[in-house]
Amino acid sequence: MADSESEEDYMNMIIEEKPKQETSIQRAARLRKEREERGRPKPKAELQAEQEAATRERLETALPSTNKGFKMMEKMGFKQGSTLGKSKDARKEPIGIQTKDDRSGIGLESEKKRKFREQAEEVLSRAKRSKEDEGDWREMQRQKQKEGRRMKDLANAQRTAERLEDVDFESKDPTKVPLKSINVLWRGLNRQRLEKLREKREKIQLTNSLTSRLPTLAAENDDEDNDYKIAFGSAAESSFVDDDLDDGDEEFEEFEALPVEDRLQKVADFLREKHRYCVWCGDQYPDVAMEGCPGSTESAHDD
């Protein structure tokens, strides 16, 4: 038994590590390192800062009462904390020492400090402000992006609606279609086309008026001129377009005044109902149930 016990003991025994004795080599290395550390010439700035700190500390530390002079003063009746002489307002602390090693005028140092403080304050407050601004800016950018995306979505949805209503609409001459005959939901598309045409025409008219005065240039533009003439038909026609564009269109203006997402939603709802088309799935479903489409809103498609 005793044997087994000792065996157990042996198994459990913790082999205590001897406290590390420094070998002579280690010691020599350590000492050498320490010496080098001491001998290493410190950078001047560091040295001076250290010096100044040491002097400051000394200047702020009162002499201890173990000082021989203090003991001699005690024998003359001095008590710790009292003052010399007979006047009541005698000094307790020695006068401080301020060194000056430049030629800065009186008040410059405090003026510098004041300016520095002001600047520091300003930098701080500006940093704070810019952080706030930064948050705003990010949010605004996000909104902008979102809106841009929705505008694109809207335009796509409108084009789809236009196509689904009338497959050949795009090939038609936009000027030939009275604007108000188009559903207000996508009327904007045709308006845009007309506006683009008008811009082109105005440009041509401007060039023509110029070329009429500069005959040498007129010939070169002849081809283009002809092309446009064919494309736009007569001036009378274009004036018709003008009238159509410039006519008041309350219905359209009302629609345009709505936020982008509302307009998009309106177009999307129209497409779902009439054409079983989902703007966000980008697909036309065979039946009214529209199985497979997560829902009639953008957020339903987010996941």
- Examine residue 21 and tell whether it contacts another protein (CB under 8 A): no
Instruction: Report phi then psi at 63, rounded to 5.
Output: -65, 140
76 binds another protein (CB under 8 A): yes
Task: Confirm or reject binding of residue 140 to another protein (CB under 8 A).
Answer: no
The interface mask with another protein, positions 142-181, x = CB under 8 A, is ----------------------------------------
Of the residues 3, 16, 93, 223, which one makes contact with another protein according to CB under 8 A: 93
C-alpha–C-alpha distance, residues 232 and 144, integer Å: 37
Instruction: Answer whether 51's CB lies under 8 Å from 99's CB.
Output: no
Closest CA to 280 of 259, 297, 263: 297
Backbone φ and ψ for 23, nearest 5 degrees, come out as -75, 165
Distance of closest approach, residue 48 Cβ to another protein, in angstroms? 6
**For residues 203 and 140, is the Cβ–Cβ distance under 8 A?**
no
What is the distance between the alpha carbons of residues 111 and 221, in angstroms, rounded to a whole number? 73
Residue 264 contacts residue 154 (beta carbons within 8 Å): yes
Query: Is there binding between residue 72 and another protein (CB under 8 A)?
Result: yes
43 binds another protein (CB under 8 A): no
CB of 74: closest distance to another protein in angstroms?
Answer: 9
Closest separation in Å from C-beta 70 to another protein:
5
Footprint of another protein on this chain (CB under 8 A)? 35, 38-39, 41, 47-48, 50-52, 54-55, 58-63, 67-73, 75-78, 82-87, 90-101, 103-108, 110-111
